[in-house]
Amino acid sequence: MMRQSAMTDEEVIRRLKNGENDIPAVLYDRYRIVLYRYCFGLVKDDDVAQDIVQEVFFKFLKEYRSIQEPGLLKIWLFTVARNEVFSHFKKKSKFREIDEQIENIFFEEISSMEAKERTEIVQALIDTLLPQYKEILFFREYQMMNYEEIAGVTGTTVSSVKSKLFKARKALQEKLQPYIDGRAL
């Protein structure tokens, strides 16, 4: 009999589908730490990271029969974890807070001279972002494209677009912070 820890993901899934009840523990032991580290690295909260890992395995137990390519199990688990992390951020309004701050910079009622200066500052700061972030911001903020349209144009996934957009907005927010605080004016 093969040691459970030496089994491939394909073998683990096959045995789980055949009704071996102790198999989920093998996968939990194999992936819980790396999933936790990934989640904690993003959310910076031990309890939330642990909850997300538990949710990933809960979803796995509900959906393992539908996994078509067991060799891609690790990708499946990390994709679910990533989606849970983004759901957490949405629930905590992190995306909305960043959007509101950027919108305040873009749409504040100010004199035309001040508006021109602010637009130039924002554009100069956008120009310092990584190229893929500038591109995503351009499509979303200036072309008003939705996530699916941006994914189609850039040849990536909607999840990738959302992630890059979050990172772009966060980077821009950090660059704008001195201006928002009045330190750079």
Domain coordinates in residue numbering, the chain: 4-91, 94-180
C-alpha to C-alpha distance for 75 and 72, rounded to whole angstroms: 5
What's the pLDDT score for residue 157?
92
Class of domain 94-180: mainly alpha
Is 133 in contact with 167 (CB distance < 8 Å)? yes
User: Is residue 59 exposed (0-12), middle (13-18) or buried (19+ Cβ within 10 Å)?
Assistant: middle
**What does the H/E/C string look like for the chain?**
CCCHHHCCHHHHHHHHHCCCCCHHHHHHHHHHHHHHHHHHHHHCCHHHHHHHHHHHHHHHHHHHHHCCCHHHHHHHHHHHHHHHHHHHHHHCCHHHHHHHHHHHHHHCCCCHHHHHHHHHHHHHHHHCCCHHHHHHHHHHHHCCCCHHHHHHHHCCCHHHHHHHHHHHHHHHHHHHHHHHCCCCC
Q: What string of pLDDT tens digits covers the 185 residues of the chain?
A: 445 557 888 888 788 888 877 777 888 888 899 889 888 877 888 999 999 999 998 998 888 777 777 677 787 888 888 888 888 877 765 555 555 555 555 555 445 556 667 777 777 887 788 877 877 887 787 767 788 888 877 788 999 999 998 998 888 888 888 877 665 54
Provide the token pair at 95: 């995306």
How many C-beta atoms surround the C-beta of residue 148 within 10 A? 11
- Scan for tokens 């008003």, then name that residue: 144
Class of domain 4-91: mainly alpha
Q: Which two tokens stand for residue 96?
A: 């909305």
Residue 81 CB coordination number (10 Å): 24
User: How far apart are alpha carbons 151 and 107 in whole angstroms?
Assistant: 26
* Tokens (6 digits) for 108: 């504040």
| Predicted TM-score (pTM) of this structure | 0.49
